[in-house]
Amino acid sequence: MPGATPPPDPTSVVQRRMAPFDWLLMATAAGIWGSSFLFMDVALEVEHPGLVAWLRPVLGLVFVAMVPSARRPVDRSDHPRLLLLGFLWMAIPLSLFPLAQTWIDSSIAGMMNSGMPVMTLVAGAAFFGVKTHRVQVAGVVVGIVGLLMIGISTASVGDTSAAGVLLVILAVACYGVAANIAGPLQRRYGSPAVLLRVLVVATVATTPWGLVGLADSDFAWSAAASNVAVGVGGTGIAYVAAASLIGRVGPVRMSAVTYVVPVVAAVLGIAILGETLGVVQVSGALVLVGGAWLTTRSGS
């Protein structure tokens, strides 16, 4: 039975060397998530942020429900953790990102998302007893500097931009805590089983805002296609890939997918949406990614 043995130590697989399949999972998640900021921006042209936020877990749930292993039983003792993940991993950040993107560019949101490894390590050390090395602590400091470079230069544009920056930081912080909670559960029950329960919680939690948004949205085929891309791709396929990666190599190494996310988000934002980035913002992204990389190192 799944609950017959205690969950593995969340730090026990963090140092395992990445296998080829792990790299494939990482590339899949990073590519899909990097483009999700573009798709959200397209959907937001005619849709309310609440509708965009709601359709993500709804469509993701449809995809994950078709995976046979998603119906694997889960112990009642783990239901509170799954409930918490439904909010921290899904409902809250999935609501914050589209709201933030009504105020800041998709490329900025994507670049700031690369702070997830930093938040993951901070949350792990603060709340989950994850041991850290000096180089990882240095990575946290460097990452925070990069995050501030992006955030301050963007927030200086106006009050609404500042609000968007703060919402993204809060969303990334939620991801950091959630990654530490999800790891042991993924390794005990498998990724699809955990995601199915988490997406059910997120769907219920975002329904009220989604219905409000539905009444204040228009229809466009481009938005509908973007919803499918973000929901099935970003909240279904990419989450399955990333959740599998958490179970295989641990939350800190999994969060390294965000090295590629800002690159994809920035390239698509500039090439397709005509967004522009300042020197400080690009430099901040490089500093942030460098800090994120340091947080995954195991040296003393």
Residue 188: is its pLDDT beyond 60? yes
Instruction: From residue 51, give the alpha-carbon distance in Å to each of 59, 95, 225, 227, 295.
Output: 12, 9, 14, 9, 35
- Continuous H helices in 128-190: 134-155, 159-189
Residue pointed to by tokens 């042991």: 184
Q: How do residues 84-127 score in pLDDT, each as one tens digit?
A: 999 999 999 999 999 999 999 999 999 998 888 899 889 999 99
**How many degrees, rounded to 5, is the angle at CA 234 between CA 21 and CA 44?**
160
Written as one string, the DSSP assignment of 201-229 is: HHHHHHHHHHHHHHHT----HHHHHHHHI
Q: What is the pLDDT of residue 260?
A: 82
61 conformational bin, left if phi > 0, alpha if psi -120 to 50, beta if neither: alpha
Q: What is the mean pLDDT of the chain?
A: 88
Q: How do residues 14-33 score in pLDDT, each as one tens digit?
A: 446 778 898 899 889 989 99
Q: What is the pLDDT of residue 80?
A: 97
| 300 CB-contact burial (10 Å; exposed 0-12 / middle 13-18 / buried 19+) | exposed
Instruction: From residue 86, give the alpha-carbon distance in Å to each of 75, 122, 181, 201.
Output: 16, 21, 11, 5
Q: Is 120:180 a contact under the CB 8 Å cutoff? A: yes
Kindly state the average pLDDT of the residues 49-61: 97
Q: Is 44:227 a contact under the CB 8 Å cutoff? A: no
Task: With cut-offs at 50, 70 and 90, classify the pLDDT of residue 207.
Answer: very high
Kindly report the pTM of this predicted structure.
0.86
Give the domain ranges of the chain. Answer: 18-295
> What is the rounded distance in angstroms from the CA atom of residue 289 to the CA atom of residue 156?
22
Residue 44: is its pLDDT beyond 50? yes
Lowest mean pLDDT across 1-5, 31-35, 37-41, 160-164: 1-5
> What is the rounded distance in angstroms from the CA atom of residue 84 to the CA atom of residue 93?
13
With CA atoms as reference, report the closest residue to 123 among 182, 168, 167. Answer: 182
Q: Is 156 helix (H, G, I), strand (E, B) or coil?
A: coil
Q: What is the pLDDT of residue 4?
A: 33
User: In angstroms, what is the C-alpha Rg of the chain?
Assistant: 18
With CA atoms as reference, report the closest residue to 168 among 121, 117, 111. Answer: 111
